[in-house]
Structure 1
Amino acid sequence: MNQKDYWNKAAADKEFTTPFQLAAFEKYVPREALVLDVGCGYGRTLDELYRAGWRGLIGIDFSEAMIERGRAAYPHLDLRVKRGAEKIDLPAASADAVILFAVLTCVSSNAEQERMISEIRRVLRPGGILYVNDFLLNTDERNKARYEKFKNKYGEYGVFELPEGAVCRHHDEKWIKNLLSGFTELEYSRLTFTTMNGHTSNGFYFIGRAKR
């Protein structure tokens, strides 16, 4: 099962629980901003922003089933199916802010993550804001065992498969800092998250400003 098939299958009943850091976000992104949520799922984060007063909101996701669920639940949101593996169907320098919420965990390779961040930089205006929430490496035995099990298959420590078919990644903090080096760090905080399957995991949120 590929990633798209997994998320289409999971769309009907998968609930995301990782908290969005709204108080931090609103310090840098005014309510009149155009906000793009890349990998928006069923639109949970965008609806939170809508209820808090933002209106220029666009969400994209490659899972048709996730977008269908979101459109039914939140008809006031502009949710779009992402066509193509890499390109975002928006003009250059058109977004004031981009949200990348638990998306890197679904992208196993360094090269794919770098291409994604490069495309996000393209659609962000100069000085635009990037908000990232994601997962860091854990040191408990359950996680270490599955990192080791799949390290050779995926070529990266921290990548693992879930029994239901998804491929996920927990990140080395040094890699995250390198990946996001094109942004001036405004906020970075380590957090503990509850995963979509009910476990706890190390995580972080990052807010950065695109370097000119």
Structure 2
Amino acid sequence: MEQKDYWDSVSEQKEFTTPFQAAEFKKYVREEAPVLDLGCGYGRTLDELYQTGYCNLIGMDFSEGMIARGRALYPYLDLRVKETDSIPLPDQSAEAVILFAVLTCIRENDKQRELIAEIGRVLKPGGVLYVNDFLLNSDDRNTDRYQRFQNKYGVYGVFELPEGAVCRHHDEAWIYQLLSDFFTLKYQRLIFTTMNGHESKGFYYIGRKSCQRP
């Protein structure tokens, strides 16, 4: 929530370009399934799903500006402002949750763990989690800023952008640990173009929640 002002200020300008792996998603999630896009931005991923036949879609984002833009672009989508850290949906109400470039906006390990636990709460047993995010890079530009901000934030990979956002690139071992409660269906490394036009290492992940009830 703390970066809300930044995302509101750029909500009409930023274009998100990292690709959604729709064909892989379709292998595991039926078109009638209740799907939540958490941190949906202006709704471009949900619109992609809508255009391919998905009909039970909800998008949530804490940026009122992003949601307003999405509602104007895609008035047929159910886009909602998320006002608290918790997800305002009942337990086991979603068959799939999409987390697209959201972890990069959360610098603290504990906050990331809390988010994944909350996603686990709203997912049905056997539900699918799709994650797309950024990995650590080894070029001089990135390693310099990782080192520069490590003391300030306590995590190697966290850095500030000149325009005010704080972002995080992830150690792959941390991603495996963070998602360890899910059964991995697909994991693939990719190269993404960031919202500011740079190349970055990244990944997409598809996992399944255990069918065993607690």
TM-score clears 0.5: yes
Letter in 1 for 2:23: A
Letter in 2 for 1:41: G
Matches within 5 A, 1:186-205: 186-205=185-204
Structure 1 residue 61, shift from structure 2 partner: 0.2
C-alpha distance after superposition, 1:134-182 (max 9, x if no partner): 0000000000000000001000000000000000000000000000001
Matches within 5 A, 1:94-133: 94-133=93-132
1:58 aligns with 2:58: yes
State percent identity of aligned pairs: 68
Structure 1 residue 187, shift from structure 2 partner: 0.2
Gaps of 5+ in 2: none
1:4 alignment partner in structure 2:
4
C-alpha distance after superposition, 1:55-111 (max 9, x if no partner): 100000000000000000000000000011x21000000000000000000000000
Letter in 2 for 1:62: F
SS of alignment partner, residue 68 of structure 2:
helix
Structure 1 residue 117, shift from structure 2 partner: 0.3
For the aligned residue pairs, the C-alpha RMSD in angstroms reads: 0.5
Letter in 2 for 1:168: C
**What is the TM-score normalised by the length of structure 2?**
0.97
C-alpha distance after superposition, 1:96-129 (max 9, x if no partner): 0000000000000000000000000000001100
Letter in 2 for 1:188: Y
2:144 alignment partner in structure 1:
145
C-alpha distance after superposition, 1:185-212 (max 9, x if no partner): 0000000000000000000000000123
CA distance in 2, matches of 1:196, 1:12: 13
CA distance in 1, matches of 2:153, 2:49: 36
CA distance in 1, matches of 2:207, 2:124: 13
Show structure 1 runs of 4+ deviating over 2 A: none
1:83 alignment partner in structure 2:
83
Letter in 2 for 1:64: E
CA distance in 2, matches of 1:138, 1:87: 31
SS of alignment partner, residue 60 of structure 1:
strand
1:73 alignment partner in structure 2:
73
2:167 alignment partner in structure 1:
168
| Corresponding residue pairs, total | 210
CA distance in 2, matches of 1:190, 1:88: 28
Letter in 2 for 1:8: D
